[in-house]
């Protein structure tokens, strides 16, 4: 069955991004593959990175861990949401480690798993998940593989970055653990003081640019294509799409493409989105519909029904065009794409 949408994962670019992030950090780099590999396919992403030498992977839930399946020998998997009451049996069956993020979870794991290794999240200032620094003495007796924290403002030059770094250093010096890990993609760009023993990139692996320091080093990973459903002419004075927001100033060649906001191509792209066919830029005209967009194909008179058109989706540029964050653009890509 033909799917009129394609999402191509550029595995070479993915691996190149991981290698740059690891070299920049100067320490081991894992990979956040939660949310189905940020929408690009966790199994495919994990396989490509494992082959390149990545050994540490992170998901959010035990369901995601199960869906990911078996990893290569020597690789490890951490579940960031820890082990809640309803997760315990599944966690005990799994080879993955929970990232314990509350004293309730610490008690639950200690009572059920004994000396089985775990990871622990320390809340150094985000007030999201994590054990507070003053509670860290209650971690005594756990076999901790990776002691973690998470930066709240690493994509900005914010004073909280340095505060979190010092808080984490203090806890890491006091709590026995095999490794310490603080930096995400943006944190890697803050410098090697933030790297510790393991960095945990997510966004930058997939083509996102978290800070200016990464610009020019991170390659596009997600490439979208949509099929042309119809070629038509919008005559001078006629409008295109809902709300009649675009009115043709002259007879305009239009291609209608099989993609819309149900696929994660958001309404915010109206006025700024574009596609490409054989090197020609085709600007979006009118609003984005649930399943369709229209582009001005005057620059590509050869385009026909059934042709594949590239959707311009370089993440920093797409975020600027749509007003959406790079994270939302990636993880919002829908299930109608043929992933290849």
Catalytic residue IDs: 34, 242
Token pair in block for residue 296: 């001005």
Please state at what angle helix 11-25 crosses helix 42-52, rounded to 10 degrees.
60
d(Cα 302, Cα 274) in Å, to the nearest integer?
17
- 3-state SS record for 40-77: CCHHHHHHHHHHHCCCEEEECCHHHHHHHCCCCCCCEE
Angle at 263 between CA 339 and CA 46, to 5 degrees: 35
Residues 6 or more apart whose CB falls under 8 angstroms from that of 31 comprise: 18, 45, 46, 49, 54, 56, 57, 58, 200, 201, 202, 205
Task: Single out the residue of 163, 154, 247 nearest to residue 204, CA to CA.
Answer: 154
Q: 318: which strand partners?
A: none
Token pair in block for residue 173: 């010096």
Angle at 162 between CA 153 and CA 122, to 5 degrees: 75
């Amino acid at each position: 069955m033909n799917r009129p949408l394609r999402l191509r994962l550029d595995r070479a670019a993915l691996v190149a991004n991981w290698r740059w992030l690891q070299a920049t950090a100067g320490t081991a780099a894992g990979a956040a593959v939660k949310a189905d590999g940020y929408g690009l396919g966790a199994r495919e992403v994990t396989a490509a990175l494992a082959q390149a030498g990545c050994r540490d992977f992170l998901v959010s839930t035990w369901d995601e861990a199960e869906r990911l399946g078996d990893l290569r020998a020597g690789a490890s998997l951490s579940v960031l949401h820890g082990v809640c009451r309803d997760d315990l049996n599944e966690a005990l069956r799994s080879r993955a480690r929970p990232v314990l993020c509350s004293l309730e979870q610490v008690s639950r794991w200690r009572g059920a798993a004994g000396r089985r290794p775990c990871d622990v999240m320390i809340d150094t200032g985000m007030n999201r998940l994590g054990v507070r620094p003053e509670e860290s003495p209650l971690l005594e007796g756990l076999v901790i593989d990776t002691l973690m924290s998470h930066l709240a403002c690493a994509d900005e030059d914010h004073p909280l970055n340095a505060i979190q770094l010092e808080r984490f250093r203090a806890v890491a010096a006091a709590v026995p653990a095999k490794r310490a890990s603080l930096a995400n993609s943006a944190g890697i760009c803050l410098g090697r003081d933030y790297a510790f023993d393991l960095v945990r990139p997510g966004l930058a692996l997939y083509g996102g640019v978290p800070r200016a320091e990464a610009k020019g080093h991170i390659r596009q990973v997600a490439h979208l294509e949509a099929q042309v459903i119809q070629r038509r002419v919008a005559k001078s004075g006629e409008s295109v799409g809902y709300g009649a927001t675009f009115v043709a100033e002259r007879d305009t060649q239009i291609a209608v493409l099989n993609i819309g906001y149900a696929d994660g191509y958001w309404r915010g792209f109206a006025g700024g989105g574009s596609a490409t066919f054989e090197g020609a830029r085709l600007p979006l005209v009118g609003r984005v519909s649930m399943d369709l967009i229209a582009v001005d194909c005057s620059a590509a008179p050869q385009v026909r029904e059934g042709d594949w058109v590239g959707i311009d989706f370089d993440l920093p540029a797409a975020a600027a065009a749509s007003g959406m964050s790079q994270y939302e653009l990636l993880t919002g890509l829908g299930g109608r794409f043929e992933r290849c």
